[in-house]
Every structure is written in C-alpha cells, then in structure tokens.
C-alpha cells in the first residue's frame, strides 16, 4: 500500500505539473516560472509562405553539363531540403513541378508562431519578414563555384564592362519577365561588387545610392528608366585595435524600384528655451514612408579573373568532385579538395603557373577563401590549410560543396499561404474533442461506476502528459 500511495502521488504531481505547463498563462496575463515555449504549428494550423524557384537548365546546357535534367532536378531538390532543414523550419513541404516548359522547385514554409508573447502585430510581422528573408537567402544561395586568379592589370575594357553590366540589368528589369529581386539577385550571383537591398523608410533612412531628387512626386509603382550614377556614402567602421577606419566613397550605378509610398503620423521632439528653461515638447507630423528595393553596380572592376589553362579551359564546379574536412598530422583542421580526372590536369597546370600566388574560390560571386599555391599538385588532391577551427573548416567545405551543382535556381514568385484550419475551425475542433472526451468519461462511469471513473481520470492524465511532451519537444501539430 505504501508503494501504491507513492506511485499515485507521483502520477498526480506529473498531471498537475503538465496541466500548469500546457496552459497559455501568458495569453491571460499571468506570469509563471515555466519557460515560454509555444506549440509548433504546421502549415495547416498556422499558414506560411510559398516560394517558387525556377531551375535554369539552359545554363547547364550552355556549360556542357554531363548531368541529365532529371539528375539535376533531384540534386537541387536534395540541396534545397538540406538548406530548409538547417533553418529549423517546422514541417516544410518541398516538391518539384513542371509548367510553361520550365522546371520549378516549390517550397512551402510555415511562418513563426508568436502567440502568447508580449509583441505587437507589427513586431510579429517584422519578425516573420526577417525570418522569410533569411529563408530566401539560405534557400536561394547560388550554387555556382568558380576558381579565380588575381588580375595583373585593370584595363579600360574592365571598367567599361561595369557600365555594360548595369545597362543589361536595366534592360532585363524593364522587360519585367521576372520580379525585380529575382533579376537583381541573378546578376549579384553572376558578377562581383553588385549589391541588392530592399527595405522601407523615410528619405533620410534610405541609403544614398538608392535615393534621388524628386522621390516625393513619383507615381507608384515606380522603376528606374535609366541607370543613375550614384555613390555609396563615405563613413567609418571599427577596425583593428578598436580604431575607427574611414570607408571611402564607392561610385557606381543604381536602379531603383519604389513599390509604394504611405503617409504616417509620427512624433518628434521640439525643444524651446535654453539651459534651465529648456522645454521639450512632442509634435506630430506627417512622414512619407517609401517601400523600396534597389540594385547597386559598383564601378570597381573585379580584382580577379577566371583561372584558366593556356588552351582556355576554365576551372569551375564541373571539375570538382567534393570538399571535405580532415586533420593534419598536427591535428589541425583543414579542407580537402578532390578533382575529377580532367580537373586534376587543369589544376596541375594552374598550380605550376601560379606558384607562390593565390587561387581564389568563389561561390555565388562571394570570395570564400584565397589560399596561396605552395607546390605543384599533380594528382587532383589539394589541401587548404590555415588557422581553421573544426567548425570553420566544416563551414568552408559545406559552402564549397553547395557550388558543385550544374544549374542555378532563381526565386520567381512568392505568395502567402493561409491556414487550412482557421482559428474559428480550430476552436470548434478543440471544443468537439473536449465534448467527446466528456461523453466517453460519462459513458465509462455510467457502465463501470468506480472503475469507469478511474479510467476517465487516466484518460485525462494521459492527454495532459501527451500535450506536455508535444510542447516541450517542439513536435509539429
């Protein structure tokens, strides 16, 4: 009897603890010692966003890819799945689709659930917008890998190329076959020193390269009809030894799209008087908020050029089999590169010619690393050494591996997905479940008396424990 009483006490305590843990105390304004953990809701209950990515198989054909379209699509889908999973997204849906003679990858991601947290609707929206932006950057990270060597000189042709890039970009944006952001990011991925930015704010809050005279009078939506010669403003940044270092102005070309202009009432401080008589008052004024996006093409030519052999073969993702992490004899983390047979021959020629010089690795137009060639590498097996930690070496190898895919993907559309089960429907379902549970317990008591009552209590405790486990382990509902 003693042990029976002890076990019953444990069960009762677990039930009380579970009930206290699963109830939405924050919603009714009660502070508790329990950690703020919300139920993870999937697409059906919470809704989310759908991202449609086009697979550019034409680019693969131009590069003479040996991969079959089916293999390319499956490989890209696998990479997208890994990228989505790295976000910790609750129950995403990833599928391929064919329409209009094009291949697409459709990604559906639930937005985050902030129920019970003391946040305004605007703050929740801002958090979700930030989350979706991060998801788009992670999923659409370009898979183009390039090996480059340093240029010895910068020619007039290199400078003219920057103007030509901006002009081509303007023409493509004007054709409007794809969203502004898709086209801008495509160029950002293909060329260096190109920046895309989107945001909202008053004219004083918009970066100098994306603002222009007469913004107040434009009709929205507005898109630049010609490239603007602009410059990113000079400033300061925190450099070595916590000293401020000046950032020089960077000249370039800008193309801007103003999506909308809204007028909002804001408060500002107005000070009157001086010294002890100074008084600060709040004054309301109407401010114009611009929802904008823009792309900046720097006039600065690339310092790097494609690493190629004397007969013109360019070393790129077609010739690299994989990157992996290993450890040196001194147990220092390093990154191994394995080339295929043709890649090994190209790399051997490059390392012979560029002895003592750098060979840079770019993915998506971004410089990952630029190791110095220490010796001729004839067997297609290279090692990148440096002051790497196990974590940084793994990140570098992962970033390099994302470039070994023969076709890029571009975001072509984005739409909001409403919850299939709305709040009202969910409330009805919960109420129906509770009524059903009470009817079952009532039936058990009616037929089995005391035994039925005990069985009903056991059902309630089981439900409480199950909900507590679902909530604490983040199981998606």
Q: How large is the angle between the packed helices 121-139 and 69-86, nearest 10 degrees? A: 140
| 46-77 tens-digit pLDDT | 667 888 888 887 766 665 555 577 767 776 78
What the block records as the tokens of 102 is 């094009």
CA gap 15, 96 in Å, rounded:
45
- What is the pLDDT at residue 22? 72
Four-residue CA torsion sign, 271, 272, 277, 281? negative
pLDDT value for 351:
93
Closest-CA residue to 408 (of 362, 360, 364, 361): 364
Q: Are 453 and 438 in contact (CB under 8 A)?
A: no
pLDDT band at residue 126 using 50, 70 and 90 as cut-offs:
confident
Q: What's residue 166's pLDDT?
A: 93
CA distance 114 to 130: 14
Report the CATH architecture of 48-143+408-417: 2-Layer Sandwich (3.30)
Residue 392 has pLDDT above 70, yes or no: yes
pTM, two decimal places: 0.52
Average pLDDT over residues 313-320: 88
What are the residue ranges spanned by the domains of the chain? 2-37+422-472, 48-143+408-417, 156-298, 306-401
Specify the fold of 306-401.
Answer: Gyrase A; domain 2 (3.30.1360)
For 154-163, which contacts have Cβ atoms below 8 Å and span 24 or more sequence positions? 154/301, 158/301, 158/302, 159/299, 159/301, 161/301, 162/193, 162/252, 162/253, 162/297, 162/298, 162/299, 162/300, 162/301, 163/253, 163/299
pLDDT value of position 113: 65
More confident residue, 466 or 274: 466
**How many Cβ atoms are within 10 Å of 410's Cβ, its own excluded?**
20
| Maximum mean pLDDT: which of 24-33, 322-331, 428-437 | 322-331
Q: What is the pLDDT of residues 344-359, one digit of tens each?
A: 999 999 999 999 999 9
15-29, 32-46, 314-328 — most confident range? 314-328
């Amino acid at each position: 009897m003693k042990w029976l009483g002890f076990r019953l006490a444990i069960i009762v305590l677990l039930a009380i603890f579970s009930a206290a843990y699963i109830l939405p105390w924050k919603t009714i304004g009660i502070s508790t010692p329990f950690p703020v953990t919300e139920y993870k809701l999937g697409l059906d209950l919470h809704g989310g966003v759908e991202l449609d990515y086009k697979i550019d198989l034409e680019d693969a054909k131009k590069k003479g890819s040996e991969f079959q379209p089916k293999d390319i699509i499956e490989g890209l889908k696998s990479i997208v799945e890994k990228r989505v999973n790295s976000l910790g997204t609750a129950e995403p849906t990833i599928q391929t689709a064919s329409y209009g003679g094009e291949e697409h990858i459709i990604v559906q991601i639930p937005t985050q659930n902030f129920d019970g947290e003391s946040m305004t609707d605007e703050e929740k929206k801002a958090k979700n917008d930030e989350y979706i932006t991060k998801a788009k950057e992670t999923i659409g990270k370009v898979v183009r890998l390039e090996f480059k060597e340093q240029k010895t000189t910068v020619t007039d042709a290199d400078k003219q190329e920057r103007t030509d890039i901006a002009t081509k970009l303007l023409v493509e944006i004007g054709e409007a076959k794809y969203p502004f952001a898709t086209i801008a990011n495509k160029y950002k991925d293909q060329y260096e020193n190109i920046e895309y930015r989107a945001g909202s704010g008053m004219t004083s809050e918009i970066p100098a390269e994306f603002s222009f005279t007469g913004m107040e009078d434009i009709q929205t939506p507005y898109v630049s009809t010609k490239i603007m010669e602009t410059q990113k403003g000079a400033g300061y940044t925190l450099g070595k030894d916590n000293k401020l270092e000046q950032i020089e102005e960077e000249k370039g070309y800008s193309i801007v799209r103003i999506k909308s202009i809204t007028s909002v009432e804001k408060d500002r401080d107005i000070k009157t008087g001086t010294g002890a008589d100074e008084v600060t008052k709040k004054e309301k004024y109407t401010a114009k908020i611009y929802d904008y996006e823009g792309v900046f093409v720097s006039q600065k030519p690339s310092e790097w050029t494609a690493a190629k052999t004397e007969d013109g073969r360019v070393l790129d993702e077609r010739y690299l089999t994989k990157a992996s992490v290993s450890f040196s004899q001194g147990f220092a983390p390093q990154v191994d590169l394995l080339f295929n047979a043709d890649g090994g021959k190209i790399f051997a020629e490059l390392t012979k010619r560029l002895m003592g010089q750098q060979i840079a690795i770019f993915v998506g137009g971004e410089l990952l690393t630029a190791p110095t060639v220490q010796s001729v590498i004839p067997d297609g097996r290279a090692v990148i050494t440096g002051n790497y930690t196990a974590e940084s070496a793994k990140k570098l190898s992962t970033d390099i591996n994302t470039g070994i895919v023969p076709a890029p993907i571009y975001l072509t559309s984005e739409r909001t997905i409403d919850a299939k089960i709305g709040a009202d429907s969910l409330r009805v379902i919960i109420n129906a479940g509770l009524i059903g549970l009470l009817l079952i317990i009532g039936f058990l008591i009616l037929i089995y008396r005391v035994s039925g009552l005990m069985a009903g209590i056991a059902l309630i405790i089981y439900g409480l424990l199950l909900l507590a486990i679902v909530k604490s382990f983040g199981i998606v509902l």
